A and B are shown apart, each in its own frame.
Chain A
Amino acid sequence: MTNHWIDIKNADVVLIMGSNAAEHHPISFKWVLKAKDAGAKVIHIDPKFSRTSARSDMHVPLRSGTDIALLGGMVRHILEKEQFNREYVAQYTNASFIVGEGYGFKNGLFSGYDPGAKKYDQKKWGFASDQNGVPRRDVTLKDPRCVFQLMKKHYRRYTPQKVSAVTGVPVRDLLKVYEIYGATGAAGKAGTMMYALGWTQHTVGVQNIRLSTIVQLLLGNMGVAGGGINALRGEPNVQGSTDHCILWNSLPGYLPSPTSDQVSLEEYLKVNTPATREPKSVNWWSNKPKYVVSLLKAWMGDAATSENGFGYDFLPKADPGVDYSVIFLVDRMYKGQIKGGLVLGHNPAQSMPNSNKVRKALDKLDWLAVAEIHHSETSDFWRRPGVEPKKIQTEVFLLPSCQRGEKDGSITNSGRWLMWHGKGIEPMGQSRSMGWMTVEIFKRVRALYAKESGAFPDPVLKMDWPQDYDADAVARKINGGYTRDITVNGKTFKKGEQVQGFLFLRDDGSTASLNWLYAGSYGPAGNLGRRRDLAQTAMQARIGLFPNFSWAWPVNRRILYNRASVDPNGKPYNTAQPVIAWENDKWVGDVPDGPAPPMALPGGKYPFIMQTEGMGQLYGPGRVDGPFPEHYEPAETPLKAQPFSAQLSNPCLKTAQSDMDVLAKPGDPRFPFVLTTYGVAEQWCGGVDTRNAPLLLEAEPQLYVEMSPELAKMRGIGNGDPVVVESARGRVEAIAMVTVRITPFKVLGKTVHLVGMPFCFGWTTPGAGDATNRLSSSVCDPNVSIPEYKACLVDVRKAEKVTELFV
């Protein structure tokens, strides 16, 4: 979240799209309702009517996978009705930038497309620069090649009629949503966007989010109280685990993983450190070398020296253009190229798309170690229904994990609040924390290498690795400290002292930090994640900032991009709910995005400090599938053609190639219905934890498929009937839930039916049903390889006989 949970109360309009916040983040809804009580309008746009819809002013059902069409229409409306914040757009976004001659858009494709490679040459989309290399600008926004005009032209095509024809949302509802949300473009008004996996899990997932940021930037909703782009993160510490980047393509703190063509640290830093000649841009990522070197020092201690590039050669390097993310990882496992692995608190056999393939892939492993609290569909894959254990040669280890209350450590919530939790009781039985397991496993691997040597033992042996797992010691190391006595600006720091914040990190090896984002969380003042102080100034209290409770990254800033909440002279756009304000030559309120004075004053800086040019990116040349989001159908679509262009699906979408990665054809008569998937309030993600909690299982005991009465009638299905749901990849049994919560859509003049299913039930809970994800496909977004769970094609029919369900 750019903002945080409590801040939702400050919104004038709450747009919940791609999320069922009331059921999946129940406590968040407290703040939605507080906003509503204070007069805010709440709009829920989601295929299914849910408890979120029930508490909203409007529920707008849309066909799954058509968010860009709906939001593109919103952009058109905002521009045509001039609802945008002109000063904000001209001064704080790249609306005024002139785009180079290489950019073009025709027939649903941007310029530079290579159909063979299914890739764009993104260099075509660069800005036109002046002699200093700074993008040329026209702050009047009139130049036909400026971002603003190109954007206007791009979204002019998104007429309410066309949007309605694709999304299935009636024109009058669209216009109502556009009018209400667009009104937050007035200075002093704020609209927040709350989203979850309903936006991300699509082949256009990244562009869904991009388009929401475009709307928010146009309306001046970034940086203000009650605004922002608010991802309702799912898992308990998915924010922290993302920050620590257990991802093939990132090092901790969102630093890029090195690739094989970056042959030295110098080369890696050169390629990955952005530079700008724009004097008013902070260009925060220019500090990257300090963070990378401090990370390498924290990892490799004395073995990281300036002579050896701080151990850069020890890091594994990816080959450029190769994707090592989970869909491709599973594909290689399925093809026998992966031999063993660790699964730490994850249940891929249940929660990964196309799970029949995932399960077969696991059969190919020589060994597998799973750390879990309960048996899961992954740990017990070798005894799943329909397989003979004798034929599966995988050696499997199941490591009992302890629960949260049995260990201490920290998590980071969705609002980026780092919070410490204490150990209350001893772990049950022989269960242990995953931190303990990690320390022990690597210790033992190191001992083997010390004794026997082996393949390239250096990175194994030279890691600075603890003897015992001590969460407090690791938290200190995440913050970081000085590796030697050093004097900076006349101030001396001693070896072993904690660094005060990331401003103190250095690229010469004198500091070590496991994650620059968290530098400052555990400085000389101690572990700020433990803070419980509710004190705040009157200004902070007005927006519920709570700056002394726990600690938020970065530098305890509670609302990101808050320099955009004030005008160029530092005066808050919303004087009733200011986030920061420039008073008596200093900032008050939240921790500002950098201490520089407001933009219009001497020494002033642009507000979007993480962007190279300091501007919010209405035009985003960095995304691989286009600088403007464009509507494409899901990889599996009930349509044979779509009205925005001849390009049916994302031209860059990624997919694994195997005999099990089959897709239904567009408009495939065998699979006429759209399936979307979701969670339920009483179960959790893949469900293995909550299915083992009897009261929660009793509340939500069994897999069902929600369908409209019209569809049920058409298929001769009664409420409560066992049915079979089938896609091109799998077959799932479920109980029919015939409900008006789902309504048929009118799409391009024809009726399109949508069904919805939870994905939390698995075979280790007898009779509850088995993985819905056997139906979903593993086609991915090309930017981040997130699979398209939320839209695929299925058929539904009454079951003759069921084996997966107790009926």
Chain B
Amino acid sequence: MNISRRGFMKLAGTGAACLGLTDLGFDLDPARVVAADLKLEGAREVLSICHFCSCGCNVIMSIKDGKMVAAEGDPDFPVSEGALCAKGAAFQSMHYSEQRLQKPLYRAPGSENWEEKDWDFVLDRIARKIKDTRDRDFIAKNAKGLLVNRVESIFELGASQMDNEECALTHQMLTGLGVIHRDHQARV
């Protein structure tokens, strides 16, 4: 039988629960197992990865009716063997935190407040700012007359929080714009 570590742990868990019943008579474990089963029943499992340190612990998200009902360390991930640290254990709650930003915000020059805006407004305006700054400050040649095709007055910082695919596109965009003041957490 080809069995994954996760499958094995599920079996072992059931076995332990049965033992508890017969040996101890009074045990909350079976109730806990039933409760967990109810929560996860019918849930779809999707694999994610903890978004903190670079151990990259795999996390199993249980999805039910479009909601993440649980997130737990993946026992089949050979590095963590199912464990998560305190930060990794916050995976699910951080997805549903009320403190998250949910709408694009805009702060006008000199304003004391944020204003909610739609995506089109902020994206169009950022694009306009980038273009105007680039057009005004673009340097085709340096003092020696050598071709440099860069803009020094726009910068980019970040990010090790992004996926590889996002990093690759960010680098490509910055190259296209000629942004040379670009850096991220790799240096700090």
Contacts and interface: CB of A to CB of B under 8 A. Distances in A.
A237 interface: yes
Contacts of B86: 26, 681-682, 696, 699
B71 to A, nearest CB: 7
A454 to B, nearest CB: 4
Contact of A434 (B55, B128, B159): B159
Interface string B115-136: 0000100111111111101110
A332 interface: yes
Contact of A390 (B52, B110, B142, B182): B110
Given A431-B101, A696-B87, A441 B130 contact: yes
A443 to B, nearest CB: 8
B93 A693 contact: yes
Given A314-B149, A411-B56, A692-B99, A435 B130 contact: no
A126 to B, nearest CB: 28
A369 B97 contact: no
B167 A237 contact: yes
B66 A425 contact: yes
B54 A414 contact: yes
A412 B55 CA distance: 9
Contacts of A315: 149, 175
Interface in B38-62: 46-59, 61
A498 B123 CA distance: 33
A98 interface: no
A234 to B, nearest CB: 6
Given A6-B79, A399-B104, A425-B67, A340 B172 contact: no
B171 A475 contact: no
B129 A326 contact: no
Interface residues of B, number: 117
Interface centre among B68, B91, B133, B161 (most CB of A within 10 A): B161
Contact of B153 (A317, A337, A400): A337
B168 A244 contact: yes
A372 B114 CA distance: 15
Given A351-B188, A441-B130, A787-B188, A324 B104 contact: no
Contacts of B178: 316, 456, 459
Nearest to A690: B87
B70 to A, nearest CB: 11
Given A236-B50, A398-B101, A514-B172, A682 B94 contact: no
B164 to A, nearest CB: 4
Contact of A260 (B52, B57, B146, B170): B146
Interface in A498-513: none
A284 interface: no
Nearest to B129: A367
A64 interface: no
Nearest to A406: B95
A247 B127 contact: no
B63 A425 contact: yes
A321 B131 CA distance: 28
B164 A412 contact: yes
B112 A389 contact: yes
Interface in A736-764: none
Nearest to A400: B101
Contacts of A233: 53-54
A404 B183 contact: no
Interface centre among A244, A326, A398, A463 (most CB of B within 10 A): A244
Contact of A397 (B76, B87, B126, B163): B126
B127 A445 contact: yes
Interface string A529-544: 0001010000000001
B127 A441 contact: yes
Contacts of A682: 86-87
A290 interface: no
Given A234-B185, A444-B123, A26 B164 contact: no
Contact of A463 (B96, B156, B176): B176
A577 interface: no
B52 to A, nearest CB: 5
Nearest to B172: A299
B14 interface: no
B154 interface: yes
A244 B172 CA distance: 10
Nearest to B117: A397
A462 to B, nearest CB: 8
Contacts of A319: 142, 148
Nearest to B63: A424
A360 B144 CA distance: 33
A242 interface: yes
Contact of B125 (A341, A397, A518): A397
A405 B87 contact: no
A419 B77 CA distance: 11
A122 interface: no
Contact of A455 (B47, B88, B138, B160): B138
A787 B188 CA distance: 7
A124 interface: no
B103 A30 contact: no
Contacts of B84: 27
B121 to A, nearest CB: 9
Contact of B54 (A236, A340, A435, A448): A236
A317 B88 CA distance: 41
A383 B99 CA distance: 18
A441 B168 contact: no
A233 B54 CA distance: 6
A383 to B, nearest CB: 7
Nearest to B177: A460
Interface string B140-157: 101010111111111111
Contacts of A260: 142, 144, 146-148
B133 to A, nearest CB: 5
B55 A5 contact: yes
B101 A234 contact: no
A352 B5 CA distance: 42
Given A390-B110, A411-B49, A340 B133 contact: yes
A421 B49 contact: yes
Contact of A245 (B94, B107, B171): B171
A409 to B, nearest CB: 3
Contact of B110 (A26, A389, A471, A684): A389
Interface in A343-375: 343-346, 348, 351-353, 366-367, 369, 371-375
Contacts of B161: 235-237, 344-346, 434
A433 interface: yes
Given A403-B95, A405-B91, A422 B165 contact: no
A317 B154 contact: no
A400 B103 contact: yes
B126 A248 contact: no
A299 B153 CA distance: 23
Contact of B154 (A24, A341, A415): A341
B56 A236 contact: yes
Contact of B146 (A263, A424, A433): A263
A640 interface: no
B112 A383 contact: yes
A30 B81 contact: yes
Nearest to A466: B169
A276 interface: no
B36 to A, nearest CB: 18
Contacts of B63: 424-425
Interface centre among B54, B57, B83, B173 (most CB of A within 10 A): B54
A684 B119 CA distance: 29
Contact of A246 (B68, B88, B109, B184): B184
Given A6-B78, A407-B163, 17 more contacts: A26-B55, A247-B182, A299-B175, A325-B183, A329-B157, A329-B183, A345-B159, A374-B101, A403-B51, A405-B46, A415-B79, A419-B49, A423-B46, A425-B61, A456-B140, A475-B165, A478-B164
| 7 pairs of A and B residues whose beta carbons are closest in the complex | A429-B102, A413-B56, A409-B163, A235-B160, A345-B159, A346-B158, A345-B161
7 contacts: A26-B55, A247-B184, A315-B175, A324-B182, A434-B166, A514-B168, A695-B93
